[in-house]
Amino acid sequence: MTTTPRLVAFDLDDTLAASKSALDPRMAGLLAELLDEVEVCVISGGQIAQFRMQLLDNLTTANDAALARLHLMPTCGTQYYRHVDGDWAQIYNERLTDDEKARALAAVEGAARELGYWESDTWGPILEDRDSQITFSALGQAAPVAAKMAWDPSGDKKNTLREAVQALVPDLEVRSGGSTSVDITRKGIDKAYGMTKLAALAGIPLDDMLFVGDRLDENGNDYPVKVLGVECVAVEGWEDTAAFLTKLIPELRAAASAASA
Ligand SMILES: [Mg+2]
């Protein structure tokens, strides 16, 4: 890139950490170093509990000054958290109304049952109320990756369910999430929505940001950020991201010392 970014944003699953897994200590160290140089955002379809388990509980080497530069956007930026007075504070939460939630839950359960996709043996609940998002996970939130891969290898079931649910709640947005999941939100909620909000909240133009994600392909949940025009770096897992940061951090340091010289 020609200029150095003022903010680096990351997807979470398969970008900073393996899916639903804790951050590797090496990545935790790199993020702490990065936070010494620039603002950082993590944006995901997942909820804050997932951020805590995967990310925050493992960011042990970052001090309060560094954590103050970290922006958390669960559920695609319909929720926003900052580190304030030693703890993570919710700054806003664009929750669905009770009516929207009730209709979304009824639509996805009804459609899944009708299509024969409502499983009886699951790893945890199938439906989850994430406040700003309703999520259907065919095999439950805690299903092992192998079971999820086997459930819908072609993605046909997920796409069929998505279309059926969308027809039932045309005023809401129904999207494919992870390998077995379907997410329901208000219209127009995706990572581009979150990044646009972030630009206003952080006071940093999108042109001064860099986004790193593993699903920047046309069907991926990171793709809207690319369409938005943010400079993007595609990775295939956290090891890729670690390799990228190992290169980026010294460049940021060099640019900062050149600017202050
Ligand atoms: Mg991902």
pLDDT tens digits for range 182-196 = 999 999 999 999 999
> What separation in Å is there between the alpha carbon of 245 and the centre of ligand 1?
17
Mean pLDDT of 101-129: 97
- Interior CA angle at 64 toward 61 and 66, to 5°? 70
Same domain, 122 and 193: no
23: domain CATH number is 3.40.50.1000
Mean pLDDT of 59-81: 94
> What separation in Å is there between the alpha carbon of 14 and the centre of ligand 1?
5
> What separation in Å is there between the alpha carbon of 51 and the centre of ligand 1?
13
Checking if the pLDDT of 3 tops 80, the result is no
> What separation in Å is there between the alpha carbon of 13 and the centre of ligand 1?
4
pLDDT interval class at 91 (50, 70, 90):
very high
> What separation in Å is there between the alpha carbon of 205 and the centre of ligand 1?
23
CB 111 within 8 A of CB 173: no
The whole-number pLDDT of residue 41 equals: 98
Same domain, 181 and 244: no
> What separation in Å is there between the alpha carbon of 261 and the centre of ligand 1?
39
The whole-number pLDDT of residue 78 equals: 94
133 domain residue, yes or no = yes
Same domain, 173 and 148: yes
> What separation in Å is there between the alpha carbon of 15 and the centre of ligand 1?
6
Cβ-proximal residues to 172 (8 Å cutoff; 6+ apart), any chain: 100, 103, 104, 184, 185, 186, 187
pLDDT tens digits for range 144-163 = 989 998 999 988 999 999 99
> What separation in Å is there between the alpha carbon of 22 and the centre of ligand 1?
14
β-bridge mates for residue 93, sequence order: 79
Checking if the pLDDT of 1 tops 70, the result is no
> What separation in Å is there between the alpha carbon of 255 and the centre of ligand 1?
29
The whole-number pLDDT of residue 219 equals: 78
> What separation in Å is there between the alpha carbon of 42 and the centre of ligand 1?
11
> What separation in Å is there between the alpha carbon of 74 and the centre of ligand 1?
13
The full DSSP string for 177-236 is: -STTEEEEEETT-SHHHHHHHHHHHHT--GGGEEEEES--STTSTTHHHHHTT-EEEE-S
> At 3, is the secondary structure helix, strand, or coil?
coil
Same domain, 172 and 203: no
Domain, as residue range, for 122: 98-186
> What separation in Å is there between the alpha carbon of 11 and the centre of ligand 1?
6
Q: Where is average pLDDT lowest: 184-188, 198-202, 207-211? A: 184-188
Percent share of the chain, pLDDT over 90: 87
Q: How far apart are CA 95 and CA 78, in angstroms?
A: 8
Nearest of 11, 217, 19, 223 to residue 137 by alpha carbon: 19
Same domain, 177 and 193: no
Predicted TM-score (pTM) of the model is 0.87
Structure tokens at 63: 């001090």
- Of 150, 169, 186, the residue at which a domain comes to its end is 186
Checking if the pLDDT of 141 tops 90, the result is no
> What separation in Å is there between the alpha carbon of 230 and the centre of ligand 1?
17
86 domain residue, yes or no = no
pLDDT interval class at 99 (50, 70, 90):
very high
> What separation in Å is there between the alpha carbon of 150 and the centre of ligand 1?
19
> What separation in Å is there between the alpha carbon of 17 and the centre of ligand 1?
9
180: domain CATH number is 3.30.1240.20
> What separation in Å is there between the alpha carbon of 166 and the centre of ligand 1?
23
pLDDT tens digits for range 41-54 = 999 988 899 999 99
Same domain, 103 and 181: yes
> What separation in Å is there between the alpha carbon of 260 and the centre of ligand 1?
36
> What separation in Å is there between the alpha carbon of 21 and the centre of ligand 1?
12
85 domain residue, yes or no = no
Q: How far apart are CA 33 and CA 66, in angstroms?
A: 9
pLDDT interval class at 261 (50, 70, 90):
confident
The whole-number pLDDT of residue 8 equals: 98
The whole-number pLDDT of residue 212 equals: 98
88 domain residue, yes or no = no
HEC string of 89-144 equals EEEEECCCCHHHHHHHHHHHHHHHHHHCCCCCCCCCCCEEECCCCEEEECCCCCCC
Mean pLDDT of 67-78: 96
> What separation in Å is there between the alpha carbon of 184 and the centre of ligand 1?
18
Q: How many domains does the chain have?
A: 2
Mean pLDDT of 11-35: 95
